[in-house]
Chains A and B, each alone.
Chain A
Amino acid sequence: MFDSIAIISTWAIPSIVVGIPLYAYFIKKIPVYETFIEGAKSGFTTAITIMPHLVGMMVAITIFRESGALDFFLRLVEPILAPLMIPKEVFPLGILRPISGSAALGFTTDILNTYGPDSLIGRIASTVQGSTDTTLYVLTVYFGSVGVKKIRYALKVGLLADLGGFLAAVYICVLVFGGQ
């Protein structure tokens, strides 16, 4: 079963990258290269926009980790996480992810830099980062934009979904990559 998962993961992106332009060019008669350039331009702004966030967060996280403060906290939570099979290194990411996108991205960067992208911890962090969203930010922006003040159960739903996504990410990675 995991072989087919690896095949899906490997083929998903190449298929999309060849499929979309072929369809656009032959079925919809779209000038694919020019359209590509048009969209590609916005990639710069996106990358540059996140730079101040990443620098600010990476400095704070690096200080926090290299001082030994992070280890101190992780030792405190380890007894709770160990029986649940959650690697303690990814725990802060689970906490940060719903609160701040840039903080979570900074933390994932730190994990990939420290443990490597192909370690189990690196793969879990990658999956968590890719599969969850900044609940508090989305709630603030969306409700703020229309002036809603009472958000009822929306926060509970968002946070429970984040928890579900986080646990699912941890366990699927342990299952798929744990034996490697």
Chain B
Amino acid sequence: MINGIWLFFVAFGIGYSALAGNIDQVTSSILKGAELGVGVSLGLISILVFWLGIVKIAEKAGLIDKLSILLSPIAKFLFPEIPKNHPAMGYILSNMSANMLGIGNAATPLGLKAMEELQKLNKNKEVASKAMCTLLALNTSSITLIPTTIIGLRLKFESADPTEIVFTTIFATLISTFVAISVDKYYRRKERHIY
């Protein structure tokens, strides 16, 4: 799908340029875009390096485990079919915690481990279980507390207040998580017959 989108931007853009009579601008657009791409990723190094350092301290200090314990009542409500003390629950909780801290690269391996454990509980291996759908719902609605990348991006473009969007981001993330959980619960009831 991403191939189609990319090709569409390039082909339609250049085609439109030709029709609009500004085809001479294409070369400068390519340079400008490429330069911006490099500049932005280099600009992000500063904040990513700093933030991943802080998160490492949090991880070693056991704060991710602490967050997991805090989240466990929520997880029991969301995943009623997972047996007590099953390893899947541990991975789900650490995945949720890592997502909340905005460390996507740490959250993904944990989420994949959770999927693996859920697959062991799954009766029909080709069909997603309810717990899997719930895990995905939580992941795609991404409860994020610290939007690191976007703060870095705002710094790069010299925002007067790069962190002013933290509150609005948390608000929007709560709404999307609320929608995800509600829709998930609705489908769980509707498709009662499948485990």
B41-71 vs A: 1/0 string, CB under 8 Å? 1101100111111111111111100000000
Please report the number of residue pairs spanning A and B whose Cβ atoms sit closer than 8 angstroms.
381
A141 to B104, CA, bound (A): 13
Interface string of B1-32 (1 = CB under 8 A from A): 11001100110111111001010011001101
Asked if A130 contacts B5 (CB within 8 A), the reply is no
- Is B72 an interface residue when CB atoms closer than 8 A count as contact? no
**Closest A residue to B174 using CB positions:** A168
Partner among B59, B116, B154 whose Cβ is within 8 Å of the Cβ of A117: B154
Contact present for A63 and B30 (CB under 8 Å): yes
Q: Which residue of A lies closest to B184 (CB)?
A: A157
Instruction: Indicate if the CB atoms of A63 and B17 lie closer than 8 Å.
Output: yes
Which of B49, B62, B111 is in CB contact (< 8 Å) with A28?
B62
Number of interface residues of B (CB under 8 A): 105
Provided the pairs A20-B63, A23-B63, A60-B9 are in contact, do residues A39 and B22 lie with their beta carbons within 8 angstroms?
no
In the assembled complex, the CB of A173 is this many whole angstroms from the nearest CB of chain B, namely 5
The answer to whether B2 touches A103 (Cβ under 8 A) is yes
Contact of B163 among A10, A65, A68, A173 (CB under 8 A): A10
Q: Which of B53, B55, B122, B144 contacts A130 (CB 8 A)?
A: B144
| C-alpha gap A154/B154 in the complex (Å) | 33
Q: Interface SS of chain A: helix, strand, loop or mixed?
A: helix
Q: In the complex the two chains form, is A112's CB within 8 Å of B157's CB?
A: yes
Closest to A63 in B: B13
Q: B-facing mask of A102-123, CB < 8 A → 1, else 0?
A: 1101101110110011100011
A13 and B146 in contact, given A103-B6, A126-B153, A165-B172 (Cβ under 8 angstroms): yes
B22 touching A68 by the CB < 8 A rule?
yes
Shortest Cβ distance from residue B153 to the other chain A in the assembled complex, whole angstroms:
6
Provide the bound-state CA to CA distance between A40 and B37, in Å.
22
Give the residues from 157 to 180 in chain A that come closer than 8 angstroms, CB to CB, to chain B: 157-158, 160-169, 172-173, 176-177
The verdict on A51 contacting chain B, using a C-beta distance below 8 Å, is: yes
Residue A84 lies at the interface, judged by CB distance under 8 Å to chain B = no
Lowest 10 CB-CB distances: which A-B pairs, in order? A39-B56, A165-B176, A130-B147, A43-B49, A62-B33, A55-B37, A164-B179, A40-B53, A168-B175, A117-B159
- Which B positions have Cβ atoms within 8 angstroms of A? 1-2, 5-6, 9-10, 12-17, 20, 22, 25-26, 29-30, 32-34, 36-38, 40-42, 44-45, 48-63, 105, 108, 111-112, 115-116, 118-119, 122, 125-128, 132-133, 135-137, 139-142, 144-147, 149-151, 153-154, 156-173, 175-180, 183-184, 187, 191, 194
19 contacts between A and B (CB under 8 A): A20-B61, A21-B54, A23-B63, A30-B57, A43-B45, A44-B49, A51-B38, A62-B30, A63-B13, A100-B5, A112-B154, A143-B115, A146-B125, A148-B125, A149-B126, A154-B128, A154-B137, A157-B140, A168-B176
